[in-house]
Amino acid sequence: MLVFISANEGSAQTANQAQLTREQAPSAFPSTVPPSGAEGGNVAAAPGDADLGEQQILKRVEGYQPFTISAGAPFYWTSNVALTRSGEQSDFVVAPTVAAFYEPRITSTLYGLVDVREQLFYYDRFDNFNFGSFDVEVGLRYLVPQWHNLLLRVDYDYNRLTEKNSFAAFFQNHAFIIDASVPFQLDRAQTLTLGVFANISAAAEESGQPPNINAISAQRSDYGTYLSYSAALTRSFFINAVGTVVVRQYYEGGRDDISEILALTANYRVNKYLTLSAVSTLAASQSNQSVFDYQVANLGGAVALQVKF
């Protein structure tokens, strides 16, 4: 049986489990194109790469298309549904996603971003864990060519975690994300990217908390670094590996976690609209409150559709 730590922590742990699940789940969308180096001093974030560490330096093309509509469906086996230290239970998860992106080119090195995303998580056996994640994001990307194509990203993100089969929120978060990454072009087909980020929660609201009680909260800020390797093996087949180390500082309860995450993907682009992927994520987390330690593996695939205009 899956249980939480105690009754007064149940709501917060549900919100925290959902946050970690969506952040560590396999990505719904691969990179827009096989990885390439910066050309012409232009950059844009790959649509759908919502998680830090997956931005791509893209080629400049004539007739820039700022709008992207995407739909994808990761499907995977997870080894630890509730992200618990012991008594792990596995399950099969399907997490369909729809998203719309607008990335206006402001100057040759400055791009805007406005996107809206909705992802639903459906569990096979433990359907009480079903939830939705709705995001609205606004930000800027700035390329500094003279500094080895340093890519700077600043975003505001509103995230709303919703109950299954409902848009009713059990957790809402307002965050500011700062990210800096430097690509190293190994050759025409391979890129190594090193980056750092901060994801700072400015405000959060959690349902189910007892009134006037300093209950354990799921609100936190994250600080981390990542190393990404991308390779285009053919014109249609490309792979990506991202290793991330992140410190998670919770606002209440005196809790601090350190997490290590490895994400691996192999992508086959059937045509300019359809991409098929094999996906996996491996994660381990250590907390100063050992009851929150856990390990999890997610293995599966993904189908993604994308239209640009």
* Size (the chain), residues: 309
Give the model's pLDDT for residue 245.
97
Decide if 240 contacts 232 (C-beta within 8 A). Answer: no
Locate the domains of the chain by residue range. Answer: 7-308
CATH architecture for segment(s) 7-308:
Beta Barrel (2.40)
Structure tokens at 134: 């709705």
Nearest residue to 49 via CA among 76, 31, 24 = 31
According to DSSP, the β-strands at 190-206 and 67-78 are unpaired
Give the model's pLDDT for residue 208.
63
Give the model's pLDDT for residue 19.
93
Decide if 112 contacts 77 (C-beta within 8 A). Answer: no
Decide if 133 contacts 159 (C-beta within 8 A). Answer: yes
Residue ranges, the chain, pLDDT below 50? 1-13, 32-61, 212-213
Give the model's pLDDT for residue 11.
38
Distance of CA 60 to the CA centre of its chain: 25
Question: Average pLDDT over the chain, rounded to whole?
Answer: 85
DSSP one-letter string for 5-26: S-GGGHHHHHHHHHHHHHHHSP
Helix (H) or strand (E) holding 118: strand 110-123
Instruction: Measure the CA–CA gap between 205 and 247, rounded to whole angstroms.
Output: 22
pLDDT tens string 242-267: 999 999 999 988 999 999 999 999 99
Decide if 261 contacts 63 (C-beta within 8 A). Answer: no
